[in-house]
Structure 1
Amino acid sequence: MNVVRPLLAGIASLCMSGAASAHFQLAYTPETMIARPGDVPVKLIFWHPFENGHVMDMARPLEFYAVHRGEKIDLMDRLSPITFTGASNAGAAFDASVPVKRSGDYVLVVVPAPYFEPSEEIYIQQITKSYLNRNTIPTDWEAPQGLPTEILPLNKPTNVIAGSTFTGRVLSAGKSIPGVGIEVEYMAAEPDMTTNTAGPATIVPPPAGTLVVMSDENGYFTFGIPKAGFWGFAALGTGPEKEFEGKELSQDAVIWIRAWDIE
């Protein structure tokens, strides 16, 4: 199924999947706009943040790095295992930090180990990007990172305005993927960086289940952003790898953006 990309900045048609909620890989820090140089704390969590739902045990990532001014900064030695506690359970997660020195964008990339989901009998690998910026100077946000699958933002991901739209392009091995479902998640419950616990969910998900938007014939999708905060988008099964340890693998592309109210 293809959806025609809006010629103007309209909201793409939404549909609802039957699932009650969506699991999303997080690379989270509450502050995305960095004023001073230093180490910025980050938490890596595999979770259901819309409704403060189930926390999945996260294995040590295969890769974790930042890209700044085109240069890759390996962050694997900055990972520390933690236990993150949500409303219903606790699960394995990771603390980390990103050295932010010069002005510009810092694209955080997490390549997690595949996670086995017993209820679906499949492995899930959500290759995730999120973004920091220092001093509002753009350097890297619009560039693809050469990942097996990724969502390329067409809006500056650290500076989306609530009430406007976000447009992305789904890529697999560098090529656009048409007609794919992209799950949409709002971070209604935000992690507490000190206690490794989830804050209360500030809103509840819509009653019909997970929000889904489709990519058009050129791999583009557009979603209207109704509320300030963190929004995640996951293009499901778009990666080139389809099997892991003899079972189906869903290799997903995830991107997190930050939306703001205009005061």
Structure 2
Amino acid sequence: MTLKPFLLAALASLGLSQAASAHFQLIFTPDTLIERPGDVPLKLIFWHPFENGHVMDMAEPLEFYAVHRGEKIDLMDTLAPMTFTGATNAGAAFNGSVPVKRSGDYVLVVVPAPYYEASEDIFIQQIAKSYLNRNAIPTDWMAPQGLTTEIVPLNKPTNVIAGSTFTGRVLAEGAPVPGIEVEVEYIAAQPDMETDTATAPTTAPSPGGTLVAVTDENGQFTFGIPKAGFWGFAALGSGPETDFEGKDLSQDAVIWIRAWDME
């Protein structure tokens, strides 16, 4: 499944691949490998974390939940509005938490309300996933979550080794999506969990613009992970919905992984 031809043309004419590049929906917590049971704090931010760029205002998400051992845990009541401040501006975002008790994977999912990008006169909806794990026991990370569109990891997303590769499979309504551009992002500026501000970037974006991979006929892409830290992948326009409130909609699938240096 691919974007409808008229939407592809519209996005191209608007220069979406440049203007909207590096818009990334974050589900962020600095700790992804959880040692002790308890509530793990996290933040939902719509931002440009590679260059500590513009912060977009988030409306209240349509859904926010975790999946653990196949069980869905609603997290909407943990959300509290906050203002997140980056290098250039501040925007509406949310603090939240997830109860991590038993061993295994916790797949975090946010379905945000579509965001109106006024400069391009389009809506963007980035359906995002990230992952926590307790006690190194795999339970859920490899399973699709039945989302409208999503990226299913083919490597364990909580402990990718820097210098290796990450492969994901882009799905829309459960079917692979070939020929989709997947933008790659690095969290060079991390959200400070106490102050709701961005730290200084630890590295700069690479020359030549946004890093991009393209899915093959099976909807798969592979990217070499050059550095430890948090890496995000956004499959642009991978979802089946292409309009919202009478305007073009880019419905994107986002996944976040954690890479580590070998000791």
Q: Which TM-score band (shorter chain)?
A: over 0.9
Say yes or no: does 1:198 pair with 2:225: no
Q: Which residue of 2 is the match for residue 254 of structure 1?
A: 254
Q: Which residue of 2 is the match for residue 12 of structure 1?
A: none
- Distance in structure 2 (CA, Å) of the matches to 1:199 and 1:151: 28
- Distance in structure 1 (CA, Å) of the matches to 2:242 and 2:71: 30
Could you tell me whether the CA contact under 8 Å between 1:34 and 1:133 is conserved in 2? yes
Matched letter for residue 39 of structure 1? D
**More relative contact order in 1 or in 2 (CA 8 Å, sep 6+)?**
1
- Unaligned segments of structure 2, at least 5 residues: 1-16
Between the two proteins, the alignment pairs up a number of residues equal to 247
Task: List structure 1 runs of 4+ shifted beyond 2 angstroms.
Answer: 17-21
What is the TM-score with the length of structure 2 in the denominator?
A: 0.93
Q: Which residue of 2 is the match for residue 171 of structure 1?
A: 171
Offset from partner CA, 1:34-72 (integer Å, 9 cap, x none) = 000000001000000000000000000000000000000
Could you tell me whether the CA contact under 8 Å between 1:228 and 1:260 is conserved in 2? yes
- C-alpha RMSD of the superposition: 0.9
Deviation for aligned residue 1:119 = 1.4
- Unaligned segments of structure 1, at least 5 residues: 1-16
What is the TM-score with the length of structure 1 in the denominator?
A: 0.93
Offset from partner CA, 1:131-172 (integer Å, 9 cap, x none) = 000000000000000000000000000010000000000000
- Distance in structure 2 (CA, Å) of the matches to 1:213 and 1:170: 12
Offset from partner CA, 1:83-105 (integer Å, 9 cap, x none) = 00000000000000000000000
- Distance in structure 1 (CA, Å) of the matches to 2:20 and 2:55: 15
- Distance in structure 2 (CA, Å) of the matches to 1:177 and 1:240: 10
- Distance in structure 2 (CA, Å) of the matches to 1:38 and 1:246: 44
Q: Identity over aligned residues, as a percent?
A: 79
- Distance in structure 2 (CA, Å) of the matches to 1:222 and 1:241: 25
Q: Which residue of 1 is the match for residue 9 of structure 2?
A: none
**What does 1:210-249 align with in structure 2 at a 5 Å threshold?**
210-249=210-249
Deviation for aligned residue 1:21 = 4.6
Q: Which residue of 1 is the match for residue 36 of structure 2?
A: 36
